[in-house]
Amino acid sequence: MIHSLFLINSSGDIFLEKHWKSVVSRSVCDYFFEAQERATEAENVPPVIPTPHHYLLSVYRHKIFFVAVIQTEVPPLFVIEFLHRVVDTFQDYFGVCSEPVIKDNVVVVYEVLEEMLDNGFPLATESNILKELIKPPTILRTVVNTITGSTNVGDQLPTGQLSVVPWRRTGVKYTNNEAYFDVIEEIDAIIDKSGSTITAEIQGVIDSCVKLTGMPDLTLSFMNPRLLDDVSFHPCVRFKRWESERILSFIPPDGNFRLLSYHVSAQNLVAIPVYVKHNISFRDSSSLGRFEITVGPKQTMGKTIEGVTVTSQMPKGVLNMSLTPSQGTHTFDPVTKMLSWDVGKINPQKLPSLKGTMSLQAGASKPDENPTINLQFKIQQLAISGLKVNRLDMYGEKYKPFKGIKYMTKAGKFQVRT
């Protein structure tokens, strides 16, 4: 199982190590550094690296490498999933997961890691339970602790640990009982030169924030559950009920959690809400190129597209760009050749555009590659797949909770080729 964990920052310093079995010398990370050197960018470091006696499995998040050391045959997905869970837990505990924050809370981090694994076997990875075992630091608590001498380690066995609902603690009490559900859909798409869609799919999630007293039993039903044929559930969802009735029935964890994620890939169901008109041309034997892009709404069901940003990695041969946007601001970094244009809202009456020229290296032939345009946007009050929640019911408790559903569509990996 998982032997050790090293946290490494982007400049290659090991700033935390934790061993669950015997101590593995940190020199094992040299193999990782070698791989890191070979990879041009941090993202490209391979996630599985063999060394003569160990295997290093790593994830890269928040500019930190989380490197797990294993010695025997362990499912790599198991380790990688666990590492992501560690990152999520840190984020949950400290708000952000960064080197300074981890260093500031090193003892809590250490205690949490110790609770998460025993002898390399996962022990408690639900943040609900961890928080009962080791309370996250808050300014108020540190003050109280110093005065009363109490600690931030719970001395009761977390109630959820062994119940049939390990994700929920007992004895939850709220004065305001509320349950919020956010249906968030991200569109991943590749659009080719001519504007036709090559692939398009929707990654949807329902993120929930449930603060309800006691042991509520919820059911959530959809107007069009047939959309959801490829779903992954939080362990709380009763799978049988979903299979037979297409209703989500569950006892929710306390606080924030992801109820389900789903995937819609059928091409006809994925509407593309924006289009990009582009004209990027390089000419041989000319040191100037033309650049023009326009962004416009397509199938938005009458909603406004906001938060639009356009980024594009320009070819190495481009020295500089002189562009004028019709709205928003733009920057071009001549070192990384990254063009980014913060557009803002799209007004369908006056489409935003960015025009100008690119100066190329004099005498060089025209670049081989065509830049790809990356698009970010948001549409409030709309789930692009058309998914709609029908109703939410609560059983098992007497009070009337406050319920809320929010929809949002975002661009995921939305790329337009030129």
Partner 1 sequence: MTDSKYFTTTKKGEIFELKAELNSDKKEKKKEAVKKVIASMTVGKDVSALFPDVVNCMQTDNLELKKLVYLYLMNYAKSQPDMAIMAVNTFVKDCEDPNPLIRALAVRTMGCIRVDKITEYLCEPLRKCLKDEDPYVRKTAAVCVAKLHDINAQLVEDQGFLDTLKDLISDSNPMVVANAVAALSEIAESHPSSNLLDLNPQSINKLLTALNECTEWGQIFILDCLANYTPKDDREAQSICERVTPRLSHANSAVVLSAVKVLMKFMEMLSKDLDYYGTLLKKLAPPLVTLLSAEPELQYVALRNINLIVQKRPEILKHEMKVFFVKYNDPIYVKLEKLDIMIRLASQANIAQVLAELKEYATEVDVDFVRKAVRAIGRCAIKVEQSAERCVSTLLDLIQTKVNYVVQEAIVVIKDIFRKYPNKYESVIATLCENLDSLDEPEARAAMIWIVGEYAERIDNADELLESFLEGFHDESTQVQLQLLTAIVKLFLKKPTETQELVQQVLSLATQDSDNPDLRDRGYIYWRLLSTDPVAAKEVVLAEKPLISEETDLIEPTLLDELICYIGTLASVYHKPPSAFVEGGRGVVHKSLPPRTASSESAESPETAPTGAPPGEQPDVIPAQGDLLGDLLNLDLGPPVSGPPLATSSVQMGAVDLLGGGLDSLMGDEPEGIGGTNFVAPPTAAVPANLGAPIGSGLSDLFDLTSGVGTLSGSYVAPKAVWLPAMKAKGLEISGTFTRQVGSISMDLQLTNKALQVMTDFAIQFNRNSFGLAPAAPLQVHAPLSPNQTVEISLPLSTVGSVMKMEPLNNLQVAVKNNIDVFYFSTLYPLHILFVEDGKMDRQMFLATWKDIPNENEAQFQIRDCPLNAEAASSKLQSSNIFTVAKRNVEGQDMLYQSLKLTNGIWVLAELRIQPGNPSCTLSLKCRAPEVSQHVYQAYETILKN
Interface of this chain with partner 1, residues 42 to 81, rule: CB under 8 A: 43-44, 46-48, 50, 53, 55, 57-60, 71-78, 80-81
- Of 282-311, binders to partner 1 (CB under 8 A) are none
Three-state secondary structure readout of 259-321 = EEEEEECCHHHCCCCEEEEEEEECCCCCCEEEEEEEEEECCCCCCCCEEEEEEEECCCCEEEE
Q: Does 376 bind partner 1 (CB under 8 A)?
A: no
Residue at token pair 């938060």: 307
Give the one residue of 155, 171, 176, 336 binding partner 1; rule: CB under 8 A: 155
Which residues does 305 contact at the CB level (< 8 Å), separation at least 6?
A: 273, 274, 297, 345, 346, 377, 378, 379
- Of 306-335, binders to partner 1 (CB under 8 A) are 313
CB of 234 to partner 1, least distance (A): 6
Contact at 8 Å (CB) between 200 and 384? no
Q: Does 201 bind partner 1 (CB under 8 A)?
A: yes
- Distance in angstroms (rounded) separating the CA atoms of residues 76 and 80: 6
Q: Does 166 bind partner 1 (CB under 8 A)?
A: yes
- Of 10-49, binders to partner 1 (CB under 8 A) are 14-23, 26, 39, 43-44, 46-48
CB of 371 to partner 1, least distance (A): 9
For 24-59, give the DSSP string.
PPGGGHHHHHHHHHHSSSGGGS-SEEE-SS-EEEEE
| Stretch in the footprint of partner 1 (CB under 8 A) among 254-262, 292-300, 326-334, 381-389 | 254-262
Give the one residue of 149, 171, 302, 363 binding partner 1; rule: CB under 8 A: 149
Give the one residue of 157, 223, 301, 364 binding partner 1; rule: CB under 8 A: 157
Cβ neighbour number for residue 202 with a 10 Å cutoff: 24
Strand partners, 357: 290, 322
Q: Does 136 bind partner 1 (CB under 8 A)?
A: no
Torsion angle in degrees (nearest 10) through CA of 236, 239, 240, 245: 100
Q: Does 170 bind partner 1 (CB under 8 A)?
A: no
CB of 273 to partner 1, least distance (A): 19
CB of 71 to partner 1, least distance (A): 7
